[in-house]
Structure 1
Amino acid sequence: MWLNAILGPVSSPVIWVPASDTRKAWSSNARSSAATHREVFCSQGIFGGFMLGVKSISGMAFSFYDWEQLELIRRIEIQPRHVFWSESGNLVCLASDEAYYVLKYNPDVVARARETNASVTEDGIEDAFEVVGEVNETVKTGLWIGDCFIYTNSLNRISYYVGGEIVTISHLDHTMYILGYVAKENR
């Protein structure tokens, strides 16, 4: 992979903005920077997807930022290990060490708040996300297929979450990982 020198050493993780040529790099000294150098974030980790996710150095907050303007959308008090976005960008799963949280993104609320500057606090836009579910399970790997979140957990089970319901698909003999889904083959 060829990277422009502006992104830093090749050993740095790089996050790409969906449907764009913009990218973010994260170096080992806990600093991430935009390729356009508009703003520098100090972080413990960054996550790609529909929005830029930034895990704070203090370990107290996780922030969602808009990719285009790098504006804070919402800061919440969860420290996820994994962030899984649905293809539509309407649903996100934040998987922490003890539980996972399914949130619904409300783009209309965000657009209205930006226009009127109402409901915007230092933690972002209050109603940008709605908690759809909270499950006390440890997610190892996962992915979204439509509005259905399929995942493996710490008990070596493949399960799915849809509409607040959890269904176990299979009990596994050993640890397995979900790599992807091929829609045309339905598997």
Structure 2
Amino acid sequence: MKSKELSLFYVVPLLAEHIYGGTLLAMCTNDFICFYDWAESRLISRIDVNVKNLYWADSGDFVAIASDTSFYILKYNVRILVMPLRSR
């Protein structure tokens, strides 16, 4: 387990201000948030937003991103994501 934890730090090329757990690993700077999969530390998505907080639904299908002036609710569909990753 320790080698898996360490591999996350070698793969992620940014200095995070905040780190959030959940269905995906979320790492934030002042300007954007990046989502990574836990299994292989792959970048899933980058969103340009100044994140103040992040909330995953208990189901793991939805995430709410809160900023100073607004919030965003995103749906995470692992079935749509898995097909392109398998073809790599």
TM-score range, shorter chain: 0.7 to 0.9
| Greater relative contact order (Cα < 8 A, sep 6+) | 2
Alignment equivalent of 1:72, drawn from 43, 46, 52: 43
Alignment equivalent of 1:52, drawn from 25, 37, 60: 25
Structure 2 stretches of 5 or more lacking a match? none
Matching of residue 36 in structure 1 with residue 5 in structure 2:
yes
Moved runs in structure 1, 4+ residues, more than 6 A?
none
Structure 1 stretches of 5 or more lacking a match? 1-21, 24-33, 118-187
Alignment partner, residue 96 of structure 1:
67
1:39 Cα deviation (Å)? 3.5
Aligned-residue CA RMSD (Å): 2.0
Q: How high is the sequence identity, in percent, across the aligned residues?
A: 29
1:79 Cα deviation (Å)? 2.0
SS at match of 1:114: helix
CA–CA distance in 1 between the matches of 2:65 and 2:42? Answer: 20
> Higher helix share goes to which structure?
2
1:35 Cα deviation (Å)? 6.5
TM-score, normalised via structure 1 length: 0.41
Matching of residue 110 in structure 1 with residue 84 in structure 2:
no
CA–CA distance in 2 between the matches of 1:93 and 1:86? Answer: 8
Matching of residue 84 in structure 1 with residue 27 in structure 2:
no
1:92 Cα deviation (Å)? 0.6
> Higher strand share goes to which structure?
1
Residue type matched to 1:38 in 2? Answer: S
Residue type matched to 1:53 in 2? Answer: A
